[in-house]
Amino acid sequence: MADGSSAPPAGGVDVLIAEDSRMQAKILQKRLTDAGHVVRWAENGALALDMARERRPEIIISDIEMPVATGYDFCKAVKTDPALRSVPFILLSTLSDPIDIIRGLDAGADNYVTKPYEPDYLLGRMRALLATPLGGDDEAAAATLEVSLAGQKFKVKAGRQQVLNLLVSTFENAVTKNQELVVANQELSVARDSLQKTNEELVTLNAEISRINSQMVRDLEAAAKVQRSLLPADQVALPSLDVAWRYVPCQSLAGDFLNVFPLDEERVGLFVVDVSGHGVPSSLMAVTVGRFLTPKVADSSLLVRQAADGRVVVASPAEVATQLNKLFQADEFSGLYFTMLYGVLHLPSGRLDYVSGGHPALVRIPAAGGPPEFHGAEGFPIAFVPDVQYEQKSLQLEPGDRIYLYSDGVPEAMDKDREPYGEEQMAACIAGGRGGPLGGSVAALLEAVEIWCRPEGPLDDVTILGVEWRP
């Protein structure tokens, strides 16, 4: 509490504060002391009244919500005390309810300052009040007014000066709050404009992304279409050979492909190719490889060429693999390579010549019965090691024999515990279909792989090609 005994310096007045919050009282006290006033502080209305009676202050600033005696009680007591009634009285109010004004009027308050307030504004209100001293007699003779607010009637006994002061203060308060609202509104408006601009930019960006996306989808669809052209026709009709195949890419673009086609009057070429990796780079390589594995006599074909006398010459599988390996040796190895099993089947004799570039062994199901057989050939993946000669092998088929070519997506298919499907289960599945049609056995193997990979499905392309020699 400030020492009330010292007289205020020039321009300063004797101020009494009633405020139950020590913190708020301290802040206000400091501001007033800095402005040259002498300040006394009481923590409730009752104590404040005692202090006012002990020495008459020149102005009173009081909070409303306080223990023991509220600001209204304190104000009423001051305004009914003949010795104190002309002391200007400022109520600090949150003014959350219009009835507060009526209560203030009824209590005889001269001024409202709404909390939170700017200290300078409060000091301004103080100066204004001190400049217009209150006439004591006029106030004493004040008539009782009846005011109706929010459906309630209030009897208010207030002097003209008091009503005027309070009205002005309420009005000023409203103006101040309105200005704050205007500023806040402007800030909101700026924020809204900026949001709108950002939103427009987002819409533009979104449209751009959507455009690029649909372009990419179109490109992928076109690429997938090109890739499908590498596959056999739906119905492969070859004399003395049944063909069935299934091909399930794990993405829209695959690294796997297969084909089976006649090379000349007597021979059929068949292969499964598996380019490492997935997606665009792998599928681009697959399409490029496919150009060389064509049965059409053309410059690009490695499988057939036209001899000087016009006859079509079929290249041996070993030759094909060696040539492909040469063609796909880049100066800087991209890390992309492919495995391939390529065979040439001589239809009249049933002899299969084949080569493997790091590809899983083919499975033969003998028509005569007996367990499935794996037939592989040694050879590194193609494009992997420069200057290798590929070794060619031969397999003599018996009438009714079936052979199956596949990509590693079949035996390496992993279940949810990452256990591979395995060559043994694969061979057993194929062998299980030996009594039924060829197409059924290929479909059954694909289904077995898909069941094995549940629930995620295969992570690699799955390619299966089965043929049955029926001379």
Which residues of the shown chain bind other proteins in the complex (CB under 8 A)? 276-277, 279, 333-337, 339, 356, 358-360, 378-381, 384-385, 408, 411-412, 414, 418, 420, 459
Check the CA dihedral 425-430-433-434 and report its sign: negative
Q: Which residues of 136-162 are buried (b: 16+ CB within 10 A; e: fewer)?
A: eeebeebeeeeeeeeeeeeebbbbebb
Q: Which is nearer to other proteins, 342 or 469 (CB)?
A: 342
Q: What distance in Å separates the CA atoms of residue 31 and residue 124, rounded to the nearest whole number?
A: 13
Q: Which is nearer to other proteins, 322 or 339 (CB)?
A: 339
Instruction: Output the smallest distance, CB 406 to other proteins, in A.
Output: 11
Query: Residue 245: which H helix or E strand, with range?
Result: strand 241-248
If DSSP codes are grouped into helix, strand and coil, which group holds residue 231? coil
Q: What distance in Å separates the CA atoms of residue 154 and residue 106, rounded to the nearest whole number?
A: 8
Q: Which is nearer to other proteins, 117 or 380 (CB)?
A: 380
Instruction: Output the smallest distance, CB 246 to other proteins, in A.
Output: 20
Token pair listed for 77:
């007591």
Q: Which is nearer to other proteins, 45 or 381 (CB)?
A: 381
Q: Which is nearer to other proteins, 57 or 357 (CB)?
A: 357
Instruction: Output the smallest distance, CB 412 to other proteins, in A.
Output: 8
66 close to 43: Cβ distance less than 8 angstroms: yes
Instruction: Output the smallest distance, CB 318 to other proteins, in A.
Output: 15
Instruction: Output the smallest distance, CB 445 to other proteins, in A.
Output: 18
Instruction: Output the smallest distance, CB 420 to other proteins, in A.
Output: 7
Q: What distance in Å separates the CA atoms of residue 7 and residue 74, rounded to the nearest whole number?
A: 24
Q: Which is nearer to other proteins, 84 or 459 (CB)?
A: 459
Of 413, 9, 276, 416, whose CA–CA distance to 429 is shortest? 413
Q: Which is nearer to other proteins, 436 or 457 (CB)?
A: 457
Q: Is 28 exposed, middle or buried (0-12, 13-18, 19+ CB in 10 A)?
A: buried
Instruction: Output the smallest distance, CB 408 to other proteins, in A.
Output: 6
